[in-house]
Amino acid sequence: MPEVRPRPIYRADRKNFARLLGPDMLSDECVRAIAWVIASHKTSLEYMRRAKGHTPAKWAAALRRVETQMHRGHDGPEITRMITDPLFGADVETFERLRGIVGDPEVPLEVRLTAIEIRRHELEALDEVDALYGLRVVLVAYALVLIWYNFAVNRTDTVRQWKFVLAILEAAGEGTAGLREHPERLKRDVGRLLQLTAQPTRSA
């Protein structure tokens, strides 16, 4: 698993976050939370680049190739290793569901083929995943729950809340020019969190 290594938050960024969150100075706990959220995002980006190409369509096509070979009578380890060998790189759910069936020579061929076909159809029905956008949503979710909700002086200030979201994205190296002009999609996908984390503090 990739290791998350938080880096120090620059003084200018600290001042900007303090201005948005409200206190004169950020607490050490708040700074650590910001650093961790940003580092987690950057680590996930690096991990995503290594996993580039591992899409539902790719694995559906891979399973179809295995099916074709097995129908021709080739069902040895060299054919089925992408399902039975965890180092070969199949998605986790496919590996967990099929390895015990496909890798067991006692299981009839038709049963193995049926299991592969069922999983292939599931993969073919999945939408393509926009992994980069998904990571941005996760980044914003963590920022709202772990930072805004816990450290904002006035949670109900939704203007500052949205500026805080943009600041976190920028600090994590994400561009926000398009998002500033068209925030609808992200606001839709994190809308519930925006509402929940904008609730008044208990002392308010």
Per residue in 96-128, pLDDT tens? Answer: 899 899 988 899 999 999 999 999 999 888 877
Per-residue pLDDT tens over the stretch 177-186: 999 999 999 9
C-alpha torsion sign, points 5, 10, 16, 18: positive
Residues 6 or more apart whose CB falls under 8 angstroms from that of 159 comprise none
Nearest to 134 by CA among 86, 188, 189, 97: 189
Nearest to 36 by CA among 68, 76, 7, 72: 7
Q: Which DSSP state fits 169?
A: H
Contact 200, 158 (CB under 8 A): no
What local confidence, expressed as pLDDT, does residue 204 receive?
A: 44
Number of neighbouring beta carbons within 10 Å of residue 124? 14
Q: Cα–Cα distance between 36 and 26 in angstroms, integer?
A: 15
Is the model's pLDDT at 165 over the cut of 60?
yes
Q: Which residue has the tokens 């054919």?
A: 79
Cα three-residue angle 140-144-149, rounded to 5 degrees: 175
Please name the amino acid found at residue 31: V
Residue-range domain boundaries for the chain: 11-51+130-196, 56-125
Q: Which of 131, 145, 135 is nearest to 40 (CA)?
A: 135
Q: Please check the confidence at residue 84 and state whether its pLDDT lies above 90.
A: no
Q: pLDDT grade, residue 149 (50/70/90)?
A: very high
Query: What burial class does residue 129 get, using C-beta atoms within 10 Å of its C-beta: 0-12 exposed, 13-18 middle, 19+ buried?
Result: exposed
pLDDT tens profile 36-67: 999 999 988 877 765 555 578 888 888 999 99
Q: How far apart are CA 42 and CA 172, in angstroms?
A: 7
